Amino acid sequence: MIGYPRSRTVSEPYNIGKVAISSIRYYILLVVAYFKYILQYVFDKFVDYPWETKVAFLILVVCSTLIIIIWASLLVTSIREKRKHWLHHKMEQNYGKGMDYILSSEASELLSRAQIAHFFDLDVSVIGKSILNGKHEKAAFVDLFYTKFITQRSESSRMENIHKMLGMFEIPEFLEKEVSHGNMKRKVLALNKIRPFKLPLNTWVVNTLLNSRYLHVQRLAMYSTIMSSSDSSLEYFETDFFDKHCCIKDEIELAYSLQRRRKEGLKLPNLARWAHIQKNEKAQCMFVRLMRRFNEVEYCGQLTDLFGENKKKKLIEEIARTWGYLHYTECEDLLIEALLTQADDTKVAIMHAMTRLATGKSLDALLEGFANTTNPHVRYEALRCIYNYGAQGRKLFKKLESEATEADKKYFAFFNNPITLEKVRLDREQAYHPSVETVFNG
Amino acid sequence: MWLTLYYIFCYFVFCYSLMLMTSYITLVLMSRRAQKQLDVELPDDETIKYMLKGSPLTPAVSIIAPAFNEEVTIIDNVNSLLQIDYPDYEIIIVNDESTDRTMELLINEYSLVEVPYDIAMKVPSKPIKRVLKSTDEKYSKLIVVDKVHGGRKADGSNAGINVCSNKYFVCTDVDCIIEPMALYRMMWFVVNSHKPTIGVGATMLMSNGCVVENGRVVEAAVPGEALPMFQQLEYLRSFLIGKLGWSRINTLPNISGGFGLFDTDVAVKSGGYDPMSMAEDVDMLLRMVTYMRNNGLEYQVAQVPKVCCWTEGPSTLKSLSRQRTRWARGLFEIVSNHRKMFFNPHYGAIGALVLPYLFIFEFLAPFLEFIGFIFLIYFSFKGGINWSTSAIVFGMIYSFSFFMTSFVIFFDYGTKAVNWKHTKMSYLKLLLATLLEPFMYHPIITYCSNVGYWRFISNKTAIWAPIQRTGVKKK
């Protein structure tokens, strides 16, 4: 980590006579002077013409000027692009092999700086000195390494080696500088890279980012901090942090970060408590789902009072699902009671939870769910739950099938055909079960 | 009296042009802001894939592609759809009772068998005869719906909506070529949005100049033929300036029927596509917006320029005029059917700003241009035109048009907004198209639009004739 705050370099002011002004103001004055001249010219030249001619000519001149500016900018952009490509190519040639090695399974042991230098074809004497010249080379190096890191990193490669290597190339300092840069795009790009590399951020930088006026930056900073090994990073959720804003990506990011913490044996939060703290239903649902994902059976009981909040339908559905997945059998009476009172969509979630628990206690409730509704979706789902309810359920299903009316027969047809879409749906639901391995590697 | 009328018209048109230019400049600024936001919020492909591929939270998508008499290309196109890179999606091919071998080819190629299927007719469509799925595990994503002939794409799309089981669906044409990363990029917006996303639009580009290999565009370039080249320029301006600009203030009025993602639930509640409409894509989105507004629900409609879909544009004058006549007719339908939304602040900025813009600058423009053209011819012979002023006014319009194209090129090159090959030759072709467009292309479009309006007014039966396709280059 490096010291902060740093002073930013300010470009030299221009001297116009006695007044010193900044470069931007100088150019603004130039543009204003140019248009003043054009305006004067138009009014002198077209003095006898109607106003529309003057306006048309003025627009013509403005457009022509803008076209010239655009094409000049295009030229500059194209030169920049070429330089970027060249630098990328240079980095690949010079350090590509070394990067591949660091990310491969061969680098599963802790390496010394000298060894890393050797793999990068560098002399040992360069250790501690600047290897890359300037921010452009560093940016190209990070871009290349990031792409390789995401696409080809082996599970057995060591993060310590990666940190050591990045340190040798002064990348953490570079990324920290980028993160504190005024340009939002550069800030976000750097944050996106800090996260997978799990680089520790200076507290000063974190605080600045967390107070950023851009929600996107705030969130990225938060997830970067959670990704780091600091225990205090979990404190950010101890307040009603999500307020009105919560999206699916937040959940993906959180799941990803918590998965990493779990893998590394770091402190994990009480997600049920977080669900209580948040006011936003979406955020509450998110934490309940995460409980399911991380198999947090011990906190299931804490969700009972949230389940009683009848207004939040989605939350009730999520809690029911979580209880079902985590086999929290003590909730069964609550579920049976809720099946009588809740709306159709919620009923379906509750019925599925009952099927997962499959203690035998709720089979009658499922049968009631099937018989006491005219909603075809609920009827079908109830039947599916009975079908999946183990031996008892299958027996009841057969009985119902033999007694089915003509109109009900179509429901039963699904269960006898292996290639209906139902199979796909079931597979997808299964995907959220904690026992299923995900691609959250690293 | 004629001369007075002429002067009034001239001043009106001049002010109209100034207003139009101002609105274009505003759109340019808004699209620039939108692109800046996209630059920040849309990470690179690797990151998107890294985050979404492994997550069970990534929303599932149904791709709906209606097909009618597509025996020549159907297998290639389905294979192309099967190659899309996304963790959870299904492909629904809706056969609109093709009279050729489309269905037979599908059944043989993918070992399809009829399966029982719970179909609730949530949106209006002709009856579905059967649903088929493959017995081969590798085609488990594929669902083929065989339905009674409806004659319109909207009818087929509705049948697909009735069958689809996912929260989001993508509506496309079976002959469109979609990039492999398209769904990932679109879905990124859905997962990243704090408001419910009801629609995401993509950029449509001409496939006429592209080289295709295994159902994927391997070389994307500007078409060499004149008409597709003009259309490419028109599409780029429309998608990079118009649509992107409107999406900045969440007022996008249209998601292209060629490739767009929608929220299934909202689409169903809004009634799906209108099988009788000539502009079914605009119509459905406006109804979706109406539904959200009437129920006081928050929503977002986004435009992602980086998601590209290549479609074959009409390369003959006949097919182009047929397409544009239909579009003009569709626009008239929109103005007529959704008139209560126009200038209505209840519908927010879309009612108070975008639809009036659509009415004044898109709907009225061909009509005004037509009258202007008649005046020009009449007064050229009568000697009532000040040619030097006319030259300056023409120069103004021409330079403005050139500025807009230059901006699009700069925008595209600088931000890599559209995912295609950014070569000098492509840009030179676009510039050439800009220089020629006012003389060669624009008059055709104006003529077709007026014909379309006339057909709507005179209540002539609309015919949905497919565009004559010549196919894309294959490697």
Residue A28 counted as domain residue: yes
CA distance B398 to chain A (A): 8
| pLDDT beyond 60 at A387 | yes
Q: Please tell me the least confidently modeled range out of A241-255, A325-339, B191-205, B386-400.
A: A241-255
Q: Are the beta carbons of A52 and B14 closer than 8 angstroms?
A: yes
Instruction: Output the six-digit token pair for A373.
Output: 């509704």
Q: Is the pLDDT of residue A188 over 90?
A: no
Of B39, B50, B409, the CB nearest to A150: B50
Tell me, yes or no, whether A272 and A337 share the same domain. Answer: no
- Mean of all residue pLDDT scores within chain A: 79
Which has more confidence, A59 or B9? A59
Shared domain check, A320 and A336: no
Cα distance between residue B351 and residue B347, in whole Å = 5
Domain boundary pick from A281, A299, A326: A326
User: Which of A35-39, B129-133, B312-316 is the least confident region?
Assistant: A35-39
Chain A 137-166, residues with CB within 8 Å of chain B CB atoms: 146-147, 150-151
Question: Does A191 map to a domain?
Answer: no
pLDDT level of residue B118 (50, 70, 90 thresholds): low
pLDDT band at residue A189 using 50, 70 and 90 as cut-offs: confident
Q: What confidence tens digit (pLDDT) does each residue in A50-102 have?
A: 888 888 888 998 899 899 998 898 889 889 888 999 999 999 999 998 999 88
Q: Based on the domain organization, do A337 and A290 belong to the same domain?
A: no
The pTM of the full predicted model, rounded to 2 decimals, is 0.82
Mutate to test the interface with A, among B194, B400, B422 (most CBs of A within 10 A): B194
Taking contacts as CB-CB distances below 8 angstroms, the residues of chain B near A219 are: none
Task: Calculate mean pLDDT across residues A198-206.
Answer: 74
Task: State mean pLDDT over A363-372.
Answer: 85
Q: Is B142 exposed, middle or buried (0-12, 13-18, 19+ CB in 10 A)?
A: buried
For residue A320, give every residue at least 6 positions away whose Cβ sits within 8 Å of its Cβ, in sequence order, or none. Answer: A307, A335, A338, A346, A349, A350, A352, A353
b/e per residue, A23-60, with b = 16+ CB within 10 A?
eeeeeeeeeeeeeeeeeeebeeebeebeebbbbbbbbb
Determine if the peptide bond prior to A5 is cis (ω within 30°): yes
Q: Give the pLDDT score at B46.
A: 80
- Cα–Cα distance for residue pair A238/B439, rounded to 1 Å: 66
Q: Are residues A367 and A440 in the same domain?
A: yes
> Quick one: which of A218, A171, A220 has its CA closest to A199?
A171
User: Are A390 and A290 within one domain?
Assistant: no
* Residue in chain B nearest A409 by alpha carbon: B116
Helix (H, G, I), strand (E, B) or coil at B124: coil
**Is A392 an interface residue toward B (CB < 8 Å)?**
no
- Structural domain contains residue A137: no
Q: What is the pLDDT of residue A259?
A: 83
Within a domain: residue A414? Answer: yes
Among the listed residues B403, B413, B366, B372, the one whose alpha carbon sits nearest the alpha carbon of residue B390: B372
**CB-based contact (8 Å) between B165 and chain A?**
yes
* Averaged pLDDT, B44-64: 86
Residues A393 and A377 in one domain: yes
Is A192 within 8 Å of B113 when comparing Cβ atoms?
no
pLDDT at B211: 82
Tell me, what's the pLDDT at B448? 93
Pick the last residue of a domain from A32, A58, A83: A83
Last residue within a domain, chosen from A326, A345, A361: A326
Q: What is the mean pLDDT of residues A34-59?
A: 82
Backbone angles phi, psi at B354, to 5 degrees: -70, -45
Statement: residue B228 has pLDDT above 80: yes
**Can you give the pLDDT at residue B302?**
92
pLDDT of residue B468: 58
Residue A257 sits in the same domain as residue A313:
yes
Q: According to the model, what pLDDT value does residue A425 have?
A: 44
Q: Do A78 and B413 touch (CB under 8 A)?
A: yes
Mark whether A306 and A388 lie in a shared domain: no
What confidence tens digit (pLDDT) does each residue in B163-193 have? 888 899 999 988 788 888 889 999 998 998 8
Reported as a pLDDT band with limits 50, 70 and 90, residue A6 is very low
Q: Provide the mean pLDDT of chain B.
A: 87
Task: Indicate the domain borders of chain B.
Answer: 1-59+167-459
Chain B CB within 8 Å of residue A246 CB? yes
Residue A41 pLDDT > 90: no
Cα of B17 to nearest chain A Cα, Å: 10
Print the domain residue range for A421. 331-442
Predicted local distance difference test score (pLDDT) of residue B466: 58
Find out whether B269 and B294 touch, Cβ atoms under 8 Å: no
Q: What is the pLDDT at residue A16?
A: 55
Residue A306 counted as domain residue: yes
For the purposes of burial, counting CB atoms within 10 Å of the CB of B203, is it exposed (0-12), middle (13-18) or buried (19 or more)? buried
pLDDT bracket for residue A12 (50, 70, 90): low
Query: Counting Cβ atoms within 10 Å, is residue B463 exposed (0-12), middle (13-18) or buried (19+)?
Result: exposed
pLDDT, tens digit, 9 for 90 and up, residues B363-393: 999 999 998 888 888 888 887 778 888 888 8
| Look-up of token digits 């591949």 | A100
B444 confidence band (pLDDT: 50, 70, 90): very high
DSSP B364: S
Mean pLDDT of A304-323: 85
Based on the structure, what is the number of domains in chain A? 3
Say if the Cβ atoms of B51 and A439 lie within 8 Å: no
Question: Would residue A272 count as lying in a domain?
Answer: yes
